[in-house]
Chain A
Amino acid sequence: SQTIHQWPATLVQPVGSPLSLECTVEGTSNPNLYWYRQAAGRGLQLLFYSVGIGQISSEVPQNLSASRPQDRQFILSSKKLLLSDSGFYLCAWGPLNTEAFFGQGTRLTVV
């Protein structure tokens, strides 16, 4: 069966520090992968999605970047975190036209 792993679960980082969140999927190949951010009490904002290795589409201009170095690995990064980057980050995968499966999420607090 397919599983999705996301880590770390929580992270506290100072302003200006770098960020790397990792997401891996097991049990499937060539998945569509997604990064979402959820601000406190708000909806899910699509940040990036990828349909294959090295293929990244960005939905909103921001301080973050994403990479897909392997088929089942999706990484969210930042060179210098801002206070506004705080939030709940969710990785998800989903074949076209079916449900999205979410990781457990990373709660990032930038201080």
Chain B
Amino acid sequence: GQQVMQIPQYQHVQEGEDFTTYCNSSTTLSNIQWYKQRPGGHPVFLIQLVKSGEVKKQKRLTFQFGEAKKNSSLHITATQTTDVGTYFCAGNTGNQFYFGTGTSLTVIP
């Protein structure tokens, strides 16, 4: 069945350091989405990537979609304490959203 894996599972960084999480799917995706879940909260949509090789930026966040549309990454430059949370990728195939296992980011002030 469809599997979406994310690494690392946990990441602790000093404030100001960069952070990257990687997402890999076992099958080709229609699109990929990224969500952020703050502690105790629900996932909130960040962005969607559709095209092969697509790169999108949101301030300090850079999202990439692989050429084969099976992998993606989220890179945060100069992390801040407000970046704390769990970041999920979600692969979209047919009617389902298959979420990655998530990367929990802790930012140490």
Contact = CB atoms under 8 A, between A and B. Distances in A.
A39 to B, nearest CB: 11
A97 to B, nearest CB: 6
Interface of A: 32, 34, 36, 41-44, 46, 49, 51, 57, 59, 90, 92, 94, 96-105
Interface in B10-57: 30-31, 33, 35, 41-45, 48
Contacts of A46: 96-99
B42 A105 contact: yes
Nearest to B1: A59
Nearest to A60: B1
Nearest to A88: B42
B: interface residue count bin? 20 to 34
B43 A44 contact: yes
- Which residue, A34, A100, A104, has most C-beta atoms of chain B within 10 A? A100
Contact of B92 (A51, A59, A97): A97
7 tightest A-B CB contacts, nearest first = A43-B101, A44-B99, A99-B45, A102-B42, A43-B102, A105-B42, A100-B97
A51 B90 CA distance: 18
Nearest to A36: B99
